[in-house]
Structure 1
Amino acid sequence: MWVQLRCGLEPRALAALAVVLVAAAVFAGMHFWSARPEGVRAPDPVSAAGHAPVPQGDAAPAAGSSGTPEPSPGPPPAVAGVAGVGGVGGRIVVDVSGKVRRPGIHRLPSGSRVTDALQAAGGVRPGVDLGGLNRARVLVDGEQILVGVPPGTVAAGGTGGAGPGPTATGAATGPVSLSSATADQLETLPGVGPVLAQHIVDYRTQHGGFRSVDELREVTGIGDRRFADLQPLVRP
């Protein structure tokens, strides 16, 4: 009544104003209620293995465990190879020379022995004495195996400082084995260069070695004169 008399409002206008005021009050109350702070439930702890804890009432952990899931075992450790015998990719490369059926380079699994290398080379030739060769020895990568070659008769010119060296004229102090000498050792012979030495190595690889010095005539690049120079300096 005071507002009506003060402002000169009609009853209908006063009722409408009262309705608006009530609606505004209700809207303000709802907005305040929805914006009130609410408590948030903390998340459940997660175990070290990334799984949620087992609820009570489920199966208990196995006897002897502490209740914490054990980490899964990792992959088994790699088997270490024999020291000094490992090659690239678990294989080794050896050079089998001398009186074997297929002399040359052979690739074998790591841990192979001398007898495995002899089998890879096709076996030894009939009548070869293997008394000084330890066939049970474990091979190493890059090793050279000389079969049927007497100890201490390695051709000159190879690497290593204890072997006999070439004379002042460049010839070896002992006969060079055509079946077991390397290309570098063959180059120490008079008149033999890298190309001719490779021809000799290729010939013995194709024919399984040299059975006699006369077979040297069949090598490409060796004529009668050069053969006469090399004959006293080499052996099969």
Structure 2
Amino acid sequence: MWLQLRCGVEPRTLAALTVVLIAAAVFAAVHFWSARPHSVRAPDPVNEAVGARASDPTPGAAGAPEPLPGPPPATGPGGHIVVDVSGKVRRPGIQQLPSGARVADAIRAAGGARPGVDLAGLNRARVLMDGEQIVVGAPTGPPATGGTGGAAAGGAGSGGSAAGPVSLNRATVEQLDTLPGVGPVLAQHIVDYRTQHGGFRSVDELREVTGIGDRRFADLQPLVGP
């Protein structure tokens, strides 16, 4: 009414001006309300969860370490190996050792070598395998052609087809079985005699093995060595 009387504004114009002022006031109120500061929620800590997952990986889960490919080590049950230590040791017999043990560990488990025994022919640093035999103090036989040196401590060579005589102190039952007139039973008797007496010192001792007579000894004498 004051504007209408003071400025001579018509009622229609006054109504339009009022609407504009109200709209401007509403726009300003909405603008200031939306621009007010908001409280922001802090993110959840994730370090502990990540550390827990890293310390306890689930087999087969993504990101979990997988075993390296390759053949498993030659060990016995429970991560142990069993070897037969014979010859000139204080306590010959079966010894149970942890996997990865060496020839020196087997000799130590058998009470050590007897005084005066020469260990130069043994590779004491070689890693043992489950089920093998170690003969301590056996005479060193002639090297077999084509064999792998140091492949066994007083055990077998690389094969029975190598040139030269078969070593009575190194040959396995299978290699002795290839000799003429020697079967699996007689080959086992030769190995048993070798184990009980600490090896063969000469070929003549072959006569003392059960099942070998004069005729069979004559056939074997040129084919074998100590």
- Scaled by the length of structure 2, the TM-score of the pair is 0.50
Q: Which residue of 2 aligns with 1:84?
A: 73
Q: Which residue of 2 aligns with 1:205?
A: 195
Query: Which deviates the most, 199-208 or 147-156?
Result: 147-156
Contact 1:183 1:201 in 2 (8 A): yes
1:7-26 alignment runs, 5 A limit: none
Q: Which residue of 2 aligns with 1:93?
A: 82
Q: Is 1:119 aligned to residue 125 of structure 2?
A: no
For structure 1, the residue ranges without an aligned partner over 5 or more in a row are 1-65, 75-82, 167-172
Task: State the superposition RMSD in angstroms.
Answer: 4.3
Q: Is 1:177 aligned to residue 167 of structure 2?
A: yes
1:95-139 alpha-carbon deviations (Å, 9 max, x no partner): 557x64477754323232210122345655777654464423433
1:65-108 alpha-carbon deviations (Å, 9 max, x no partner): x9xxxx9x99xxxxxxxx736421232023557x6447775432
Q: Sequence identity of aligned pairs in percent?
A: 70
Q: Which residue of 1 aligns with 2:97?
A: 108
Query: Which deviates the most, 213-222 or 120-129?
Result: 120-129
Q: Secondary structure at the match of 1:138?
A: coil
Equivalent residue in structure 2 for 1:138, among 127, 134, 145: 127
Contact 2:141 2:169 in 1 (8 A): no
Q: Is 1:153 aligned to residue 153 of structure 2?
A: no
Q: Which residue of 1 aligns with 2:177?
A: 187
Question: In the aligned structure 1, how far is the partner of 2:221 from the partner of 2:80?
Answer: 39
For structure 2, the residue ranges without an aligned partner over 5 or more in a row are 1-44, 46-51, 57-71, 148-155
Contact 2:141 2:167 in 1 (8 A): no
Q: Which amino acid aligns with 2:216?
A: R
Closer, same or farther: CA 201–132 of 1 in aligned 2, 3 Å:
closer
What is the Cα deviation at residue 232 of structure 1? Answer: 1.4
Q: Which amino acid aligns with 1:179?
A: N
How many residues are paired up?
157
- Scaled by the length of structure 1, the TM-score of the pair is 0.48
More helix by percentage: 2
What is the Cα deviation at residue 226 of structure 1? Answer: 0.7
